[in-house]
Amino acid sequence: MGKNFAAIDCGTNTTRLLLARKEGKLTELDRRLVITRLGQGTDYTGELAPEALQRTFAALDDYAAQIEEAGGAQIRVVATSAVRDAGNSREFFDGVRQRLGVDPDVITGEEEARLSYRGAVQGLPKLAGPVLVMDIGGGSTELTIGNGDQIEKPVSLDIGSVRVRERFLQGDPPTKAERASARAYIDALIDGSGLDFSDVYSFVGVGGTVTSLSAINQDLAEYDREQVHDSVISTDELRTLNSRLLHTPIEQIAKIPTMEEGRADVIAAGCLIAREVARFVGLPLRVSEEDLLDAIIADMAK
């Protein structure tokens, strides 16, 4: 008799579900994402906005229905940067419990980094190490260096696509001064991270920003997970993408065939973060579709 497992990630920009069944081996049943912008304005107000909570709860209602339709599951819900920063997180806790019957785990930035690393490495098993895994979220970016299963140092930086867009890149498109301010802020945090990139051999990115950039770079007519997973964005291609997105109005970015609804206004900020990390690392960016959710499911299935 198989058993179902559900992992849900309530991030600053997206709310995601991975549903899997274990019958000898793990089989993916459902994987979906909704851009709910839970961290809307949290950087300024210190609280989760009522409309952001309602968008997130609507997504969770849908996920609860999918889990029930699959016959139920052992569920783990994790929350990251937006909930870590919010003074009214109790409302979020109550809403999750009401819909899914479990309390969410508000994981630390370091735990988020560890899970992202493990998910990426298990998804790309032939990576040569040491490996740097970058997970660009809406509120934070996790950078983790490891070698195989051994994690050397996980770091969480307060540079996410939503945070950088709201704090610095307010023009449409952003002005030269806004771009310079954002870049200086990002570089200062990377430089002060304490990470030594000199020995890194493989550079891997996970998360919606990176997978979206891969689809744009490949000029895909529609999003194809198989074509995105294990794809590579060269340093020149990433620089070109960065310049293109920072100089394009949001209305035009939204017309890119693979652009998810709700991501167009923050993809330029996310790309700038990816570009600046890549400048420090000096390596092409390999893209993994497997990430934190996959690591959580693997842990549960043990």
Note whether 36 and 129 are same-domain residues. no
The strand pairing partners of 19, in sequence order, are 6, 30
Bigger pLDDT: 109 vs 99:
99
Are 267 and 172 in contact by the 8 Å Cβ rule? The answer is: no
pLDDT at 16 over 90: yes
Tell whether 302 is covered by a domain: no
Burial of 170 (0-12, 13-18, 19+ CB in 10 A): exposed
Q: Mean pLDDT, to the nearest integer, of 8-12?
A: 95
Q: What is the pTM of this model?
A: 0.94
Tell whether 301 is covered by a domain: no
Bigger pLDDT: 263 vs 43:
263
Tell whether 82 is covered by a domain: yes
Note whether 101 and 126 are same-domain residues. no
Burial of 200 (0-12, 13-18, 19+ CB in 10 A): middle
Q: Mean pLDDT, to the nearest integer, of 238-248?
A: 98
Q: How far apart are CA 251 and CA 254, in angstroms?
A: 5
Note whether 132 and 278 are same-domain residues. yes
Note whether 276 and 158 are same-domain residues. yes
> So what's the pLDDT on residue 1?
63
The whole domain housing 58 covers 3-107
Final residue belonging to a domain, choices 107, 137, 166 = 107
Final residue belonging to a domain, choices 90, 107, 124 = 107
Final residue belonging to a domain, choices 107, 131, 161 = 107
Tell whether 261 is covered by a domain: yes
The strand pairing partners of 23, in sequence order, are 25
76-94: pLDDT as tens digits: 999 987 888 889 999 999 9
